[in-house]
Structure 1
Amino acid sequence: MSAEFWNMGGYALYVWGSFGAALAVHLWNVLSARAQRRRLLDSLADSEGEQPVDE
């Protein structure tokens, strides 16, 4: 690919920064949902007197 593509016509900082921010938010959303699911499953297991689910 050409340097002009990666430079994005002088807007590379904004374009790649936006991609980076979107990726960070997406990763945070996925990891947060997984952690919340884990806490919920552990809480349910505790309330039923069972061992926590190990995945």
Structure 2
Amino acid sequence: MHWSSVSDFFAMGGYAVYVWGSVLACAVLILGEVLVARAGRARAWQRVRDERALGEQGHD
């Protein structure tokens, strides 16, 4: 598709609501996935630290 101006680009041939809505939905979902993955990673590392601390307590 060829746009003659920036406003034509953002209008997306009259489908801007659908196009930009889809882009926004995908961006939100990707951001959510990144945040969930980071939280899971932090929980896993905390579990490792907790288990390591329990193991060190058992050797005293």
Common fold: TM-score over 0.5: yes
- Provide runs of 4+ in structure 1 moved above 4 Å: none
Query: How many residues are matched?
Result: 50
Cα deviation for residue 38 of structure 1 reads 0.2
Unmatched segments (≥5 aa) in structure 2: 55-60
Report which of the two has the higher share of helix. Answer: 2
2:40 maps to 36
Unaligned runs of 5+ in 1: 51-55
Tell me the equivalent position of 1:27: 31
Shift, 1:2, TM fit: 2.5
- Partner AA of 2:44 in structure 1: L
Partner AA of 1:5 in structure 2: F
TM-score by length of 1: 0.82
Percent identity reads 42
Deviation for aligned residue 1:8 = 0.6
Q: CA deviation at 1:44?
A: 0.9
